[in-house]
């Protein structure tokens, strides 16, 4: 069930993800390849659900990197609890008060926040970036998420007004490793490729339905050499995006840290995934024609989701080119 109109995942979708173990993705021992595979699979039917699962991966990894052992035991007491979060320390502040920290702020674009148990929030304390794990029940959700695509991610604003958090759940923010940066990018890439695959699935169904190109003598879409060419080109672009994504996952899973000097090249590959998926879905929409934009046609939802998700900062093409060009001279 899709709940774009509600700007959040349907309750039955959340429960299905929980039962499938998708909120536990990113647990110790999980490979980047397995996370990517699963997110693509989810995204073929529901890109927003794939996205929320990916946000959970990032938030769980950060909690494990930054929280102490005792705190982790409490945070992960429920292995299937959904985590959400924001890495923007400019949106919140903390004031120390004995053994607690009083947190105030408003963090926008927190995907899955209405269904999450814990939120990992970046904030400033005494002018220094910190990271706090806060129970979502202690926060307020301001329903600010209004977008054309990825609507069901429910990426609303989390608000804290003097929320008291035990100081042991607040730690100094440390730089991410290159491997973590690349893993976080993969959690964005998975839903994008999944949505493109979903649009391709819908198009194959349309080809098999016996529909023909309008205003032609063809008896079916498959009889048209042009239609076959468009389908082949779109499929090639999606497969190329997948190969790039799996190469990134393999680099993350390999022994040893990815060299920081290689990161600009990987940024180029990440951005290329977004562009290839957008180009592929545009070709698929050509095959569907104006009917592809009917609200009951799932291809338009995949198109909207790809258009929005592929423009996440992890996939920013002009900054990727800028960084790569700088690295080359």
pLDDT tens digits for range 49-82: 999 999 999 999 999 999 889 999 999 999 999 9
Averages of pLDDT over each 10 residues, the chain, 329 residues: 78 96 92 98 98 97 92 94 97 97 98 98 97 98 96 97 97 92 97 98 96 94 97 98 98 95 97 98 97 94 98 97 97
Residues of the chain with CATH 1.20.140.10: 178-328
pLDDT of residue 2: 53
Instruction: Tell me the C-alpha distance between 208 and 172, whole Å.
Output: 56
Q: Which residue has the tokens 């698929």?
A: 284
- Return the exposure string of 77-86: e unless at least 16 CB atoms fall within 10 Å of the residue's CB, then b: eeeebbbbbb
Residue with tokens 């990161």: 263
Which of 2.60.40.420, 3.40.30.10, 1.20.140.10, 3.40.50.300 is the CATH number of 178-328? Answer: 1.20.140.10
CATH hierarchy code of domain 4-172: 2.40.110.10
Least Cα distance to 130 among 95, 182, 97 occurs for: 95
pTM: 0.96
């Amino acid at each position: 069930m899709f709940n774009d109109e509600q700007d959040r995942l349907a309750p039955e979708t959340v429960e299905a993800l929980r039962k499938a173990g998708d909120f536990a993705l990113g647990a110790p021992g999980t490979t980047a390849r397995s996370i990517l595979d699963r997110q693509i699979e989810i995204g073929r039917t529901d890109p927003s659900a794939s996205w929320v699962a990916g946000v959970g991966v990032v938030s769980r990894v950060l909690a494990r990197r930054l929280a102490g052992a005792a705190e982790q035991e409490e945070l992960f007491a429920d292995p299937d609890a959904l985590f959400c979060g924001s890495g923007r320390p400019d949106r919140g502040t903390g004031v120390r008060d004995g053994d607690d920290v009083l947190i105030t702020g408003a963090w926008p674009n927190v995907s899955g926040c209405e269904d999450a148990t814990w939120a990992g929030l970046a904030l400033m304390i005494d002018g220094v970036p910190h990271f706090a794990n806060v129970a979502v029940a202690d926060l307020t959700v301001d329903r600010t998420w209004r977008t054309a695509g990825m609507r069901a991610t429910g990426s609303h604003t989390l608000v804290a007004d003097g929320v008291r958090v035990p100081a042991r759940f607040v730690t100094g923010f440390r730089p991410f490793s290159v491997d973590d940066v690349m893993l976080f990018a993969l959690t964005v890439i998975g839903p994008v490729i999944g949505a493109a695959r979903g649009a391709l699935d819908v198009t194959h169904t349309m080809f098999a339905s016996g529909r023909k190109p309008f205003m032609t003598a063809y008896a079916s879409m498959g009889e048209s050499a042009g239609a076959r060419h468009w389908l082949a080109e779109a499929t090639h672009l999606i497969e190329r995006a997948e190969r790039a994504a799996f190469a990134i996952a393999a680099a993350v899973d390999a022994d040893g840290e990815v060299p920081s000097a290689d990161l600009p090249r990987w940024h180029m590959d990440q951005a290329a995934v977004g562009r290839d998926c957008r180009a592929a879905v545009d070709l698929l929409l050509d095959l569907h024609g104006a009917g592809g934009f009917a609200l009951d046609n799932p291809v338009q939802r995949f198109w909207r989701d790809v258009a929005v998700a592929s423009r996440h900062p992890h996939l920013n093409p002009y900054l990727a080119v800028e960084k790569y060009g700088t690295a080359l001279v």
